[in-house]
Amino acid sequence: MNSKLMIKQLSVFHQQTNRILIDSVNLSVDEGEVVALVGASGSGKSLIAQAVLQLLPDNLRQTGILNYQSRPITKKDRGQNIVLIPQSIDALDPLMKVKKQIQSLLPAPHSEQKVFDLLGRLGLEEEVASRYPFQLSGGQARRILVAIALGSAAKVVIADEPTPGLDVDSKTDMLSLLKEVKASGKSILLITHDFDVAVDLADRIAVIKDGKIIENTLKENFVGKGERLFHPYTKALWQALPKNLFIRSL
């Protein structure tokens, strides 16, 4: 398949100490594919997303290859070819109405009707377009973030921890929204620590620990007691889920 996003031998170092934060990561997301990057807090998931989006802080440096459609990723790709669904709804501009925020990232021509159609596709009324972010409920704001990703011309979507802190209904709603993005044909890199979300949405699951990807496998291998899984840490994570009866604690 044609890889929309290709990460080869990506390493991230702290400038002053040379401490390795990401260690020789290889990861690809093919056309129309959802790849979940799963790991505990501090494992390096978000650093990989920042590297892809060219947003690493100045005190870090990176080596390796990051390609979008077989060419090096540049800052111009951010928002145009690779778009982020951020974890926090605070990412919305508090001083800009919803319609203008969506239009700013839609490919031309970005008519008002196109915004209304996009909102309707995600279950929002047209009047939402005239509101400011502070006038939205949390659920509405999350839908707007997904609407921006869905309506953009970007072929790759990075969803950064889209479900933490959500109740069961809100989590189900967010998964439905992400499935809508998947159905549109976009490729998704899903960053999460929630195995249930990964198994529900992803085609492949990569597990990261201490800056290294220790397993990269089809989601179909996450069954039973993890007999099809390779790494003991991955098996332990899988077996520790409530639905797997907490077979082993980490």
**CATH code of the domain containing 207:** 3.40.50.300
Does residue 82 form part of some domain? yes
| Confidence category of residue 174, pLDDT binned at 50, 70, 90 | confident
Does residue 52 form part of some domain? yes
CB neighbour list of residue 167: distance below 8 Å, 6 or more residues apart: none
The count of domains in the chain is 1
pLDDT greater than 80 at residue 111: no
Does residue 176 form part of some domain? yes
pLDDT exceeding 90 applies to what percent of the chain?
58
Taking only Cα atoms into account, the Rg of the chain, rounded to an integer number of angstroms, comes to 18
Residue 245 backbone class (left: φ over 0; alpha: ψ -120 to 50; beta: rest): left
pLDDT greater than 50 at residue 79: yes
Q: Looking at residues 143-170, what average pLDDT do you find?
A: 88
Structure tokens at 21: 């934060």
Does residue 250 form part of some domain? no
pLDDT of 195: 86
Tens-place pLDDT, residues 21-71: 999 999 999 999 999 999 988 899 999 999 999 999 999 999 999 999 999
pLDDT of 1: 57
CB neighbour list of residue 125: distance below 8 Å, 6 or more residues apart: 119
Q: Looking at residues 82-111, what average pLDDT do you find?
A: 85
Does residue 227 form part of some domain? no
Q: Looking at residues 102-116, what average pLDDT do you find?
A: 80
Does residue 175 form part of some domain? yes
pLDDT greater than 50 at residue 250: no
Does residue 242 form part of some domain? no
Comparing 65 with 88, the larger pLDDT belongs to 65
pLDDT of 152: 87
| Confidence category of residue 246, pLDDT binned at 50, 70, 90 | low
Domain range for 112: 31-62+75-222
pLDDT of 241: 80
Structure tokens at 62: 């990176």
SS3 155: coil
pLDDT exceeding 70 applies to what percent of the chain?
96
CB neighbour list of residue 140: distance below 8 Å, 6 or more residues apart: 124, 128
Structure tokens at 7: 């990460």
Q: Looking at residues 112-127, what average pLDDT do you find?
A: 88
Q: At what angle do helices 168-183 and 138-151 cross, to 10 degrees?
A: 10
Q: Looking at residues 149-161, what average pLDDT do you find?
A: 91
pLDDT of 163: 85
Does residue 200 form part of some domain? yes
Q: Looking at residues 80-98, what average pLDDT do you find?
A: 89
